[in-house]
């Protein structure tokens, strides 16, 4: 896996692009910190987006996509943002570090096409071959 730091001056545009590309992906949000340990705030909820103000003084993560299951996670006083990519070039995790020593970690899981959900391609989805 490769990790890339996102410069603060790019956060606003990066989050807009990231939101468009990963919208709907299943996301698990972890909160990591010296005082709280490792805690899961949300598990496998659809990613709706990340927003920040143009000065990047705060960040807000939105998940859910369904009435009653929406979560907004604010990140106060962020100091760094980094993206971890798989060897294939897909985003695997996004981390946001805060001044209080807390890290908000989004684990991303690429949405799987329904026909591959159980690891088996239905016969009707297979291309026909001439003999």
Q: Mind listing the pLDDT tens digit for each residue in 18-50? A: 999 999 999 999 999 988 889 999 999 999 999
- Would the pTM count as exceeding 0.85? no
Q: Report pLDDT for 112.
A: 60
pLDDT at 8 over 90: yes
The pLDDT of 102-111, averaged and rounded, is: 92
Topology of domain 2-125, CATH: Protein Yojf; Chain: A; (2.70.180)
Dist. CA 47–CA 24, nearest whole Å:
5
Give the domain ranges of the chain. 2-125
* The pLDDT value given to residue 113: 55
Cα–Cα distance for residue pair 113/88, rounded to 1 Å: 18
pLDDT at residue 129 is higher than 50? no
Mean pLDDT across 88-107: 95
Residues contacting 107, CB < 8 A, separation 6+: 27, 28, 29, 30, 92, 93
- Predicted confidence at residue 100, as pLDDT, reads 92
Residue identified by tokens 């910190």 is 33
Mind listing the pLDDT tens digit for each residue in 41-85? Answer: 999 999 999 999 888 889 999 999 777 778 899 998 999 999 999
Give me the residue label for tokens 């996670």: 73
């Amino acid at each position: 896996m490769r990790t890339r730091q996102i410069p603060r001056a790019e956060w606003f545009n990066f989050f807009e692009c990231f939101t468009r590309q990963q919208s709907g992906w299943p996301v698990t949000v972890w909160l990591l910190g010296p005082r709280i340990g490792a805690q899961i705030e949300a598990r496998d909820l659809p990613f709706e987006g990340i927003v920040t103000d143009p000065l990047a003084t705060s960040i807000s993560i939105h998940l859910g996509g369904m009435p009653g299951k929406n979560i907004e996670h604010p990140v106060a006083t962020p100091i760094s943002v980094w993206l971890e990519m798989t060897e294939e070039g897909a985003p695997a995790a996004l981390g946001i570090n805060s001044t209080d020593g807390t890290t908000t970690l989004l684990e991303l899981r690429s949405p799987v096409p329904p026909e591959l959900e159980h690891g088996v391609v239905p016969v009707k989805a297979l291309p026909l071959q001439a003999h």
